[in-house]
Amino acid sequence: METDWIWGLAGGGLIGMGGAVYLLGNGRIMGASGILGGLVDGSGRKSAAEKLVFLAGVILLPLVLSSLFLIKTNTHMTDNVPLIIAAGLLVGLGTRIANGCTSGHGVCGISRLSLRGIVATVFYILAGGMTLVVFRHVLGVI
Amino acid sequence: MRLFFSFLAGGLFGAGLFISGMTDTIKVQGWLDVFGDWDPTLAFVMGGAIIPMFIAWQFTKGRAPLVGGAFPSPARPELDHRLITGSVMFGMGWGLVGLCPGPVIASITYNGWEGVLFMLAMIAGMVAAPKIGEQLDQIAAKA
């Protein structure tokens, strides 16, 4: 627990370097929802290869790291099916309607002082915090 | 080169999500839960990621991407109903389970059937988003 912030900072640094490589190398904004969403709704067909290779990297590195160092990969994920479906739908819909998620609006937007990125981040954090507090502490369902 | 940079960027992103603990829903929900056992890790991850990205944006000025082409146009200043409504919807789903798109993808090999189900629901939402977005535009036009 005491060292979690160091891992957080180091991991965050890697995330930022990934974004920097995608921006300075390919001239693109690294947003997870935009990359996956562009593939599944067909809007990103022209850059499909680039997106698929990006996603392969995102999936492969955690797999390699977890198997090499036998790090525990407990995600503490809920097994409540209706909750998973509702939350997944909301995340998919919301990130595409807002045109960005934690990586696109959060990391890439805030770092260039984009008003849209900052406002989106404030709203999804507030909505996330309020939803969690209501469902956990008021309703007691999560 | 374009595919090499894509893989490198994706790999760094995935590795960063993994070692920062952001694929653990307890850490994400812990950050959102200000009335519980508050966990500040996510703020360090965001801070750690924004620093290299801020430097990268400075390098874009007056230059072109290494593979050619152009950098993204400057950020649009205007706020619209889609940005707000979409972000609120996203935040609600994020709070309920503690997963956002990056970590959903990064953890797909070790997040069990629950992670796969979340990914499928998320993709369904992404596919439906253009239509739902148009309906929101109509509602906003009437309001």
Position A2 pLDDT exceeds 80: no
A136 contacts B33? CB cut-off 8 A: yes
Model pLDDT for residues A48-99, shown as the tens digit of each residue: 999 999 999 999 999 999 988 777 789 999 999 999 999 999 999 999 999 9
Minimal C-alpha gap between B106 and chain A (Å): 5
Taking a contact as any Cβ pair under 8 Å apart, which residues of chain B between 74 and 103 contact chain A? 75-79, 82-102
Position A69 scores a pLDDT of 79
Residues 6+ apart with CB under 8 A from B138: none
Contact B7, A57 (CB under 8 A): yes
Going from the C-alpha of B19 to that of each of A63, B7, B61, B101, the distances in angstroms are 12, 18, 31, 17
Q: Read off the pTM.
A: 0.96
Round to whole Å and give the CA distance between A25 and B47. 22
Angle subtended at Cα A98 by Cα A97 and Cα A103, rounded to the nearest 5 degrees: 125
Residue B143 has pLDDT above 90, yes or no: no
DSSP conformation letters of A104-127 = IIIIIIHTTT-HHHHHHHHHHHHH
- Establish if B140 touches chain A: CB-CB under 8 angstroms: no
Is the per-residue pLDDT at B89 higher than 70? yes
Closest-approach residue (CA) in chain A for B79: A116
Enumerate the domain spans of chain B.
2-142
> In terms of residues, how long is chain A?
142
DSSP state of A135: I
- Rounded distance between C-alpha atoms, residue B112 and residue A75, angstroms: 9
